[in-house]
Amino acid sequence: MKTRLTKERVFFSLGIVFIFAGIICNTWLLARFSPDGIFDFSTKLKIWIIEVFCIAVGFCLIKYRSSIKLPRYREILFSFVTFLLFILLFEGGLRVFYFIKHKTKESEMDFADYLGWESTPDNFWKREVKGYGEIKYSTTRYGFRVFGDVDSKKTKIFVIGDSFTQGTTVSDGETYYDYLRKSNEDIEIFTYACGGYGSLQEYMILDKYYDVIKPHVILWQFCSNDIINNDFDLESASFRNNNQMRRPYLQDGKIKWLYPKQKSGWLVQTSYLLRLLDIKMNILRAEKYGSIEDTLSNTHPLFIRAAKTTGEIMSSVKKRASDVPIVAFSTDKPTWLGDTYFEICEKNGIHYIPGIPEAMEEAKRNGIIIDYPPYDAHWNKIGHVIAGKIILKYFIENKFIHSSPVKIQWE
C-alpha cells in the first residue's frame, strides 16, 4: 500500500511539472518577455503545440497514476529518466525552433567568430513593432544599413554605432544619418551598426572597412551601455546590459573573446534552454532587484577600469583614422556616466557633439513622443530627426560639410 502511494505521488508530481510547464509556455507570458511584445502566427502555433502537449501529458500522468504499473525498484529511476527526457525534449525543441526560425525568418543579426555577432548583409524584413507601427528594415553589402558610392566626390561620412544607429525601430530612410544626407547634397553616407556592440567591436568594423570606404569624416555614436559592454567583469555583473553572447574584450592591451557570465557561464553558454532561462531571470532580477547600473558611479572600481579601457579603444580609433576627423555623440547621459565620453574624446583629439540627450529629454517634457518604453527605448522617427538636426548643425558650423540649400519634408 505504501509503495503504491509513493508511486502515485511520483506520477502526480510529474504530472504537475508537465502541466506547470504547459501553463508558463503560454503566449501572454512569453510576450511579456519579448523585446517587442509580438509573436507571429507560426511562433504562436509552436507555443500552442508545446503547451497542449505538456498539459496533456501532465493530465494523463495524474489521471492514470494509479493504473501505471512499474516494478518497485524502477520507480525512482523512471522519475529521473522522465525528468531528464523532459529537459532534453525542451532543449532539443528549442534548438529545432531556433534553427527553423533562423532559416525561415529574417534576422538583423547573425553570429560571427571575429566580432561575436554581426549585422546580416542583404537583409530585408517588414513587420509590426509594438508602439512604432510597421517597420521596413533592410541592409546592403557587408551588413551596412547604408552603403554609398565609394568613388563619390561628396563628403563621405562613415557612421558607426550600436542599436540606436542600427535603427530597427524606424524604416529605411528615417534614421538620423538619412536626415543628414537628405538635408545636404554634399554628403555620402556609409553606416554600419549592430545592436549590443561595444566600442571594441565598433573599432573592428572601422579597421575592417576604413580602406574600402576611405571616409572624409567618421561619425561615432556612443551609448551609456558601451561602458558596461567594454569591460568583461562589468558586463558579467549587469542584469540589464548583459548581451549573453561571446564577444571580444580588450584586456591588458590584448583582445580576448569571452562569454560574460554570472554563474556556471560555460553551462549556460552551451545550453539553449539554460541560456533562455538565464536571460529571462536576468530581466526579472533587473526589474525586482535592480542592476549594477543603479548603484554605479564614476568612483566605482569597475567603472574606472571600463572608462580607462574605453579610452584605450578610442585612442586606437584615432590612430586608425589618422588625419580623418572623428565626430562623436552620445544617445543618453545617465548620472553615473557624467562627462566621461566628452573627457575621453577631448583627450584623444576627437570632436564631441553635446546636447543630444538633453534635447531628447526636453522633447519628452514637451509631450513629444520619441520612444515607447517599456516596449522599447530606442528612438522613433521624431527622435532621429532631433538627433539629425543637431548633428547637421554641428557639421556645418565646424566646416566638416558645406552648407546646402536643400530642404526636405518629413511626413
Residues 289-314 have pLDDT tens digits of 667 888 899 999 999 999 999 999 99
Q: Is the domain defined by 109-397 classed in CATH 3.40.50.1110?
A: yes
pLDDT of residue 288: 56
> What are the CA-CA distances from residue 11 to residues 52, 79, 201 (Å)?
18, 8, 51
Instruction: With cut-offs at 50, 70 and 90, classify the pLDDT of residue 78.
Output: low
Instruction: With cut-offs at 50, 70 and 90, classify the pLDDT of residue 25.
Output: low
**d(Cα 31, Cα 35) in Å, to the nearest integer?**
8
Angle (deg, nearest 10), helices 41-63 and 75-104 = 170
Instruction: Looking at mean pLDDT, say which of 38-42, 71-75, 255-259, 324-328 comes out highest.
Output: 324-328
Q: What is the mean pLDDT of residues 101-129?
A: 84
Instruction: With cut-offs at 50, 70 and 90, classify the pLDDT of residue 371.
Output: very high
> What are the CA-CA distances from residue 131 to residues 35, 69, 228, 346 (Å)?
12, 54, 27, 38
**Domains of the chain by residue range:** 2-104, 109-397
Residues 51-73 have pLDDT tens digits of 787 788 788 878 777 776 655 54
Q: What is the mean pLDDT of residues 83-108?
A: 64
On whether the CB atoms of residues 81 and 89 are closer than 8 A, the answer is no
